[in-house]
Amino acid sequence: MIYILEDAINGVLMGSIYGLTALGLTLIFGVLKVINFAHGSLLMVGMYAAYWAIILTGVHPYVALIIVAPVMYLFGYYLQDIVIKPIFKAEKDVREPITVIIVTTGVWYILDNLTLLIFGPTYRNIQDNPLKGKMLEIGEMFISVPKLWGFVTAVVTAAAVYWFLQKTRMGRAIRATSLDREAASLMGINQFKVYNVAFGIGTATAGIAAVTLVPFYNIFPSVGVLFDIKGFIIVVLGGLGSIGGAILGGIIIGLIESIAPQFMTATWTEAIVYGLFLVVLFVKPSGLFGVKYDW
């Protein structure tokens, strides 16, 4: 029994990190109405950025946030500005911008394979970092310390993004645009500037998620694909566009992944996750909690 509790706790911790990786996905969808297929790749870029920042300077992994988060913000900001904006301008009247989805897929392919070209297929990890393999002992339970840090970071980041959207001028502009982009632009809000900022913030949260992952996770060019698919599942479970839902959806996936192997072959858990995903899509596409925009 205690093992299941231990697995559950570790599952919640890991799940909250999954949620953090999907936070940007849900935010970008909420504002641009576009599923960013390159989100996993952005996470991957963040992981490489964090990896090199830590390796080259030798600082504590979380200190790398100071570099990674702003760099990723700028990366996302200009990615939207240069690559994605032209499509929006070309297809102003289109309600379902399918072509934008495709363009983000193109970005995914380019980023993943450029990384493969530059850094090779090698699996990397940060050998001597103060968090690696650390366990917190509570009674007979072992709780992973780097995942605990990740959990705290996920909750703080989600709260910060929420606060930003509620309390700042830019945040309000973002919310207004997400509700009705025509009305917002009539009110003098620059729609594309808002898109840039939202994309930047979404990418920055991917960078933060990357920093929480590198102390204990392998880094390789196609690592993003794993989180891409997981991210899609999480945001649909939690309700596309919902920030709280992303974290909760992540925790559900984390719990399934940690507890289900007690009862079945580990590889079947993946099938369960896809099954749950399809059921939610068919039965309740607004997500398990029925909250679409909680901001």
Q: From the CB of residue 56, how many other CB atoms can be counted at a distance below 10 Å?
A: 9
- In the chain, the DSSP E strands lie at 135-138, 141-144
Name the residue among 142, 207, 158 with its Cα closest to residue 10.
142
DSSP string, 221-245: TTHHHHHHHHHHHHHHHH-TT-HHH
| Angle at which helices 266-283 and 243-259 cross, to 10° | 150
Smallest separation (angstroms) from other proteins to the CB of 51: 19
Smallest separation (angstroms) from other proteins to the CB of 106: 4
Smallest separation (angstroms) from other proteins to the CB of 117: 6
Name the residue among 164, 141, 136, 167 with its Cα closest to residue 151.
136
Q: Report the sign of the C-alpha dihedral through residues 88, 90, 95, 100, in that order.
A: negative
Q: Which is nearer to other proteins, 106 or 130 (CB)?
A: 106
Smallest separation (angstroms) from other proteins to the CB of 44: 13
Q: Which is nearer to other proteins, 96 or 138 (CB)?
A: 96
Smallest separation (angstroms) from other proteins to the CB of 266: 10
Q: Which is nearer to other proteins, 23 or 107 (CB)?
A: 107
Smallest separation (angstroms) from other proteins to the CB of 88: 11
User: What is the C-alpha to C-alpha distance for residues 225 and 243, in angstroms, rounded to an integer?
Assistant: 21
Smallest separation (angstroms) from other proteins to the CB of 271: 5
Q: Which is nearer to other proteins, 58 or 86 (CB)?
A: 86
Tokens of 140: 């007979």
Ramachandran angles phi, psi of 171, nearest 5°: -60, -40
Are 53 and 79 in contact, with CB atoms under 8 Å apart? no
Would you give the end-to-end CA distance of the chain in angstroms?
Answer: 39
Are 199 and 84 in contact, with CB atoms under 8 Å apart? yes
Contact residues for other proteins (CB under 8 A)? 29, 33-35, 83, 86-87, 90-91, 96-99, 101-103, 105-110, 112-114, 116-117, 121, 221, 225, 229, 232-233, 236, 240, 265, 267-268, 270-271, 274-275, 277-278, 281-282, 285
Q: Which is nearer to other proteins, 106 or 133 (CB)?
A: 106
Ramachandran angles phi, psi of 241, nearest 5°: 100, -10
Distances (CA, A) of 247 to 80, 242, 266: 24, 9, 23
Q: Which is nearer to other proteins, 54 or 280 (CB)?
A: 280
Q: Which is nearer to other proteins, 8 or 276 (CB)?
A: 276
Q: Which is nearer to other proteins, 153 or 269 (CB)?
A: 269
Smallest separation (angstroms) from other proteins to the CB of 272: 9
